[in-house]
Copies of this chain bind each other. A is one copy, B any other.
Amino acid sequence: MAENDKTHVSRRVLLSGIAGATGAFLLPENMAGDVTNGAVENPVQDSTKVPGTPARSLGERAASEQPRRIVSSSPGGVSRTPLQDLQGIITPSDLHYERHHAGIPTIDARQYSLLVHGMVDRPTVFTLDDLKRFPASSRIHFLECSGNGGTGLSGNPPPDRTPQQIDGLASASEWIGVRLSTIFREVGVQPTAKWFLAEGMDAAMMSRSIPIDEALDDAIIAYGQNGEALRPEQGYPARLFVPGYEGSANVKWLRRIEFSDRPFMTRMETARYTDPLRDGKARMFSLVMDAKSLITSPTFPTTLTAPGWHEVSGLAWSGRGKIERVEVSVDGGQSWVDAKLQEPILSKCFSRFRHLWNWTGSAAVLMSRATDETGYTQPTAAAIRAARGPGTRYHYNHIRAWTVARDGSVTFGGAE
């Protein structure tokens, strides 16, 4: 940051009394009004002279810091996480994205039951209390709708789009529940079983087939999020959570798990959630979300006010493990430099990256690309287009671009 970006205290102001202050009691009463910089038009009432409001039963956002969140009610319900307004890696629960296929069912947790059956020795119905009595597991993970970012590739979106609009179907929380492996041991899954069906109790009866081996490592039946009970829009009272898997596989309002020796070929994994390829075939059960990154700042609608140092910041994640590296380009992908990764870097979780950029005032195209611990690097949009066939709708993890104009305005898109 250049020095002239701030207000250095003038000698006059210092001599007026502040320089001599060695403790709170020596301060001029209206110090804030005296030394605030020129941008402040109307000095506020001195908050040191007025008792504040009492503690509340629930904390509240500041009136001037209300979330700017986009909700669409059709079909079934979509709301997005305002990524451009968030920092760090945790998404507050009430800003976690929502994607429903038939709205949010209202479920009485006392009536809740989960049937686990099929190729098992002991078909069992679990109540919520049953699930909670098992040893718990809690882990911080991302969750992303596999259709996230589609407008960025195929929709030719206008430049006045925010990260929320492009990629807001991705969030990260601490998820709490019982490990699937514990439940599997309890019911005695038979050796010949290779897949299980997870079925929701919403009006879409959302159903997905999951391969057993992959889910045994770290998957849970989640009943908690960010410390509290799961919320209705996240599957209350319990959902499947398979870290790294596309959102729809993490079936909400989970009511049934059935084991089989083969996938169930439900409507949602045949008519939907397959990826047409260039050669006319289709990729099925592309359940794992590949490595991806996106810049959250600066992005539309930000305007850079002056050349100089600016932090380029964003999120990276992979369904296959930890993020190992994020590179940033300011020249549309001609050259790349390593961004800094903020600790902690967790597996299958948002990682925050930062890059300090000295903007010269020329036009620039900002990009980021992530590499995960398997060595996989986020592909270009051209590579995704070359691999996929007509009608592709999911797994848009290509590199995003943001254009910075000479006037500092930032818009979506560029030479990606």
Contacts and interface: CB of A to CB of B under 8 A. Distances in A.
A69 to B, nearest CB: 5
A111 B127 CA distance: 53
Interface stretch (A36-44, A363-371, A406-414): A36-44
A283 interface: no
Interface string A43-74: 11001111111111111111011010101110
A415 interface: no
B137 A199 contact: no
Interface string A336-363: 0000001110100000101010000000
Contacts of A104: 52-55
Interface centre among A32, A137, A266 (most CB of B within 10 A): A32
A253 B47 contact: yes
A340 to B, nearest CB: 8
Given A60-B232, A344-B346, A35 B125 contact: yes
Interface in A74-126: 77-79, 85-96, 98-100, 102-111, 113, 115, 117-118, 122-126
Contacts of A110: 39-40
A126 B6 contact: yes
A330 interface: no
Contact of A226 (B92, B123, B138): B92
Contacts of A125: 6-9, 35-37
A166 interface: no
A264 B103 contact: no
A24 interface: yes
Nearest to A70: B57
Interface stretch (A142-150, A200-208, A393-401): A200-208
Interface stretch (A13-21, A241-249, A383-391): A13-21
Contacts of A113: 32, 35-37, 40
B21 A258 contact: yes
A52 B174 contact: no
Contact of A134 (B1, B51, B56, B94): B1
A233 B122 contact: no
Contact of A58 (B32, B69, B232): B69
Contact of A205 (B48, B99, B103, B136): B48
A130 interface: yes
A230 to B, nearest CB: 8
Contacts of A56: 71, 79, 98, 233
A135 interface: yes
Contacts of A95: 58-59, 227-228
A227 B69 contact: no
Contact of A90 (B77, B90, B106): B90
5 contacts: A5-B130, A9-B115, A39-B127, A56-B98, A89-B138
* Nearest 3 A/B pairs, CB to CB: A52-B103, A55-B77, A88-B138
Given A56-B233, A58-B67, 9 more contacts: A32-B111, A36-B113, A48-B201, A50-B105, A58-B69, A86-B228, A88-B227, A133-B310, A136-B354
